[in-house]
Amino acid sequence: MKIAITGHKHGIGKAFAEQLAKRGHEIVGISRSDGENIRRIEHTANIIDSCELFINNAQSMFAQTELLYAVWDKWRTLASHRWIWNISTMMVQDPVNSTPDGHDDLTMSQYHTQKLALEQASRQLQYKSSWPKISIIRPGGVDTTRIPEKYKKDKRYLEFMKKSCHEVLEKSDVNVWVKSVIDTFSQHQNIHVSELSIGHITERIPI
């Protein structure tokens, strides 16, 4: 399968690219470090057009949502099966909390709003046509290399993140998390997973 991934050089996107390539898939990576910018919506959609799966991972303001619409518009009349995986966050399930000093963190509020827009657009498009299939995938706590070191040492920031996400600061290894997502989709060939949330737990459930 030919798979397009935005933000394939870091974090979740990188883990998807590496693991899917090992499974024999052809990866079309789209990242700023390669001179691409997802805010160039039509240009980016044209790169994705020849693929069968689009992992809509990178975020830049509302470009992630705009890119979803652009790719869906190109694929909605195709007879062949196409899929879009939109990477959201479990943070959307609750409002963003205040920082310890009582002020809302503007950056996190904007992030929360942008991901909400992505999910709402996904649900709207899911009911407009049979194809492409659209899935919302929500990471919980995932340890990625994109988190700046200064934030990992900032107790005030970490406490804010803990309250916002309603989970402990222990995070899933990004490669373990991505493998869980891929395995979920690959094991159910005849079942469409419309929404998937995977977060970290401290103890394994005995099942």
- Report helix, strand or coil for 201: coil
What CATH number has the domain bearing residue 131?
Answer: 3.40.50.720
pTM for the predicted model, two decimal places: 0.80
Give me the number of domains the chain comprises: 1
**Cα–Cα distance measured from residue 40 to residue 45, given in angstroms and rounded to the nearest whole number:** 9
* Domain-located, residue 206: no
Q: Which domain holds residue 179?
A: 2-198
Q: Which of 137, 149, 110 is nearest to 5 (CA)?
A: 137
* Domain-located, residue 123: yes
**Cα–Cα distance measured from residue 85 to residue 71, given in angstroms and rounded to the nearest whole number:** 12
Q: How many CB atoms lie within 10 A of CB 156?
A: 11
C-beta of residue 96 within 8 angstroms of C-beta of residue 112: yes
- Residue 111: the pLDDT is 83
**pLDDT tens figures, 179-203:** 989 998 887 667 888 888 887 665 6
**pLDDT tens figures, 119-160:** 999 999 988 877 899 999 998 766 554 555 555 566 666 665
- Report helix, strand or coil for 91: helix
* Domain-located, residue 182: yes
Residue 74 has pLDDT above 70, yes or no: yes
The region of weakest confidence among 47-56, 65-74, 170-179, 189-198 is 170-179
